[in-house]
Amino acid sequence: MRPALLRGQPRPHMLYLHTEKTGGSSIECATQGDDNVLARGLFTNMGHTSVAAVDRCRRQCVHEGVPAQTIISIREPYAWWRSLYRYGFIGRNAAIMTGKDFAGFMADASRNRGWAQSSNIRRACGAPCNADHILHTETLGADWLRLLIALDLPLVALPHVNPTATGEHSNRVPGRTIFTQEIVDIIHFVDGPMFAEFGYTRRNDVPFELGAS
């Protein structure tokens, strides 16, 4: 295990806040287990958590006067909605399940703003998000490596974990996820903070379809 100091100061304890469909399962798998150095007092997985729970952990995990730091992962909004839909259609452990096509699912989302990625982020780290470190799903491996290097932590690799690919209804195959103007407008409405706060670019080249990932 590395020394308890980071650049001459006590090392901050790290708290990971898991936002749905952003690669959080990979991070959790990489940071738990009896033989994992990151699980030995350096890193705590908070799961799908709340600001109140995180604030309690921040207070409890002060190390010689150094407060804990928080990590959250976020995802490009259009890819995030596609992933949420596909996971909900396949149905394994999905909090939001659907049997509708993509357009029908997004119509439901327009009436349920609590489904949005920005709502999940707000639940965990407030608005604006006060996380100390933000990782991006689209560059998760590189972001994770940079974080470990910056914190002088052991370079623990991320496993590839894709819950959507292991759905309990493997015979159910989601249809195409074509982003029409109506669907794009819904995403811009319900997930506006992803663009305004986190700098993602709004797409206007409709219709478009994302890849298979």
111-170 tens-digit pLDDT: 999 999 999 999 999 999 999 999 999 999 999 999 999 888 888 889 876 666 554 545
Q: What is the pLDDT of residues 2-29, one digit of tens each?
A: 445 566 677 788 999 999 999 999 999 9
In a domain, residue 93? The reply is yes
pLDDT value at residue 146 = 95
Residue-number span of the structural domain to which 102 is assigned: 5-165+175-209
In a domain, residue 78? The reply is yes
The CATH number of residue 59's host domain is: 3.40.50.300
Q: How far apart are CA 142 and CA 157, in angstroms?
A: 10
pLDDT value at residue 34 = 63
pLDDT value at residue 196 = 97
Report the percent of the chain where pLDDT is more than 90: 65
**pLDDT value at 37 more than 70:** no
Is residue 89 within 8 A of residue 95, CB to CB? The reply is: no
Instruction: Provide CB contacts within 8 A for 137, sequence distance 6+.
Output: 21, 22, 23, 73, 74, 75, 76, 79, 80
**pLDDT value at 56 more than 60:** yes
Report the percent of the chain where pLDDT is more than 70: 87
Burial (CB < 10 A; 0-12, 13-18, 19+), residue 80, is buried
In a domain, residue 170? The reply is no
Count: domains in the chain: 1
- 5: alpha, beta or left? (left if phi > 0; alpha if psi -120 to 50): beta
Is residue 187 within 8 A of residue 78, CB to CB? The reply is: yes
In a domain, residue 19? The reply is yes
- Mean pLDDT, residues 43-62: 93
What does pTM read for this prediction? 0.89
- Mean pLDDT, residues 71-90: 96
In a domain, residue 39? The reply is yes
